[in-house]
Amino acid sequence: MATRPKKKHGVLALIFRRRSIRVFRDAKPSRSILELLVEAGQRAPCVYQSYTVISIERPELREKIYELTEDNIIRQAPILLLLCIDLRRTRMLFDLLEPEHTLSKPPNPIETVEAIFEAGLFAENLILAGEAIGYSSVILDWPLRLGLELQKILNIPGGVAPLFFICMGPPGEIPPIRPRMPLDLVLMSDSYREPKREQLQKYLDEASEKLAAEGYLLKYVGIRSTYRQYLAEKVRRDREMEVLEAETSEFLRRNGLTI
Ligand SMILES: Cc1cc2nc3c(=O)[nH]c(=O)nc-3n(C[C@H](O)[C@H](O)[C@H](O)COP(=O)(O)O)c2cc1C
């Protein structure tokens, strides 16, 4: 039976040292670097490749998006990519194959879930390719809240849904590796094991402790609360959250993500 290597080299080392970077050094990435990263993304397993990525380069476009988000990373990241689910192009592809096809009318739960999944694989491949050439990254979820505005600013037609920004560049900070759930909550053998409340409590406590030691929330969000409190606030269901969820659901549905 093959055993676990004692030392992590190559791709393994790269995967295990990756962490989100939110401060970048200045760089002027060439077109060929951008193409390499996106081609690496495309080598991920895929179904219909229902994703499109838009590199946001013109300073006036960056500025418009900055004004909406007030997120410095938007201005600062040498590479700013908008990852979109593009079932519009997939529909055009299917039109060439069959007059009546799965995307002729909604709902399209299988295509939608597969498109989101393959976009995630694309993103991680691209991110790891970045790591291999000294480019770190962070994903930002602003587009989930600004879909309509981004469609206007970047001339994105209906049927193409902005999902996430992927921001990349040489790292301008060296944060520690961030906590993850313990392996025994994630890896199960032969059947499902319900997590115990105490295990989840312990995870929340340990994650809070580790992130406090990094000064994570103070550094990136400018607040002094614990990670637990921050998470509680983030997931709290209030009226504002309900409106946002309803608007996002409607936007995604109108743009082809119909589950
Ligand atoms: C779908 C998704 C959305 C994310 N959105 C944001 C975001 O809006 N802002 C941010 O600072 N980080 C965001 N992140 C990065 C996570 O905060 C980060 O990956 C997580 O805290 C683990 O840290 P690590 O990547 O350093 O291991 C996002 C990550 C994912 C996968």
Confidence band of 1 (pLDDT split at 50, 70, 90) = confident
Q: What is the pLDDT of residues 83-115, one digit of tens each?
A: 999 999 999 999 999 999 999 999 999 999 999
Percent of the chain with pLDDT strictly greater than 70 = 100
Which DSSP helix (H) or strand (E) runs through 78?
none
Confidence band of 82 (pLDDT split at 50, 70, 90) = very high
Residue 159: predicted pLDDT: 98
DSSP 3-state assignment of 147? helix
Is 13-175 a domain of CATH 3.40.109.10?
A: yes
Q: Which amino acid is at 26?
A: D
Pocket flag, ligand 1, residue 140 (CB < 6 Å): yes
Å from CA of 4 to ligand 1 middle? 28
For residue 3, count CB atoms less than 10 angstroms from its CB and return exposed for 0-12, middle for 13-18, buried for 19 or more. Answer: exposed
Pocket flag, ligand 1, residue 161 (CB < 6 Å): no
Residue 80: predicted pLDDT: 98
For atom 7 of ligand 1, the residue with the nearest CA is: 140
Pocket flag, ligand 1, residue 139 (CB < 6 Å): yes
DSSP letter assigned to residue 167 = E
**CA-based end-to-end distance of the chain:** 42
Percent of the chain with pLDDT strictly greater than 90 = 99
Pocket flag, ligand 1, residue 178 (CB < 6 Å): yes
For atom 9 of ligand 1, the residue with the nearest CA is: 140
Residue 2: predicted pLDDT: 87
Q: Are 132 and 63 in contact (CB under 8 A)?
A: no
| Both structure tokens of 14 | 């790269």
- Give residue limits of the domains in the chain: 13-175
Q: What is the pLDDT of residues 19-57, one digit of tens each?
A: 999 999 999 999 999 999 999 999 999 999 999 999 999
170-197 average pLDDT score: 98
| Distance between CA atoms of residues 194 and 206, nearest Å | 20
Q: Which distant-in-sequence residues (6+ apart) come within 8 Å of 206 by Cβ?
A: 179
0.95 exceeded by the pTM? Answer: yes
Residue 243: predicted pLDDT: 97
Stronger pLDDT, 1 or 16, i.e. the higher one: 16
Confidence band of 205 (pLDDT split at 50, 70, 90) = very high
134-150 average pLDDT score: 98
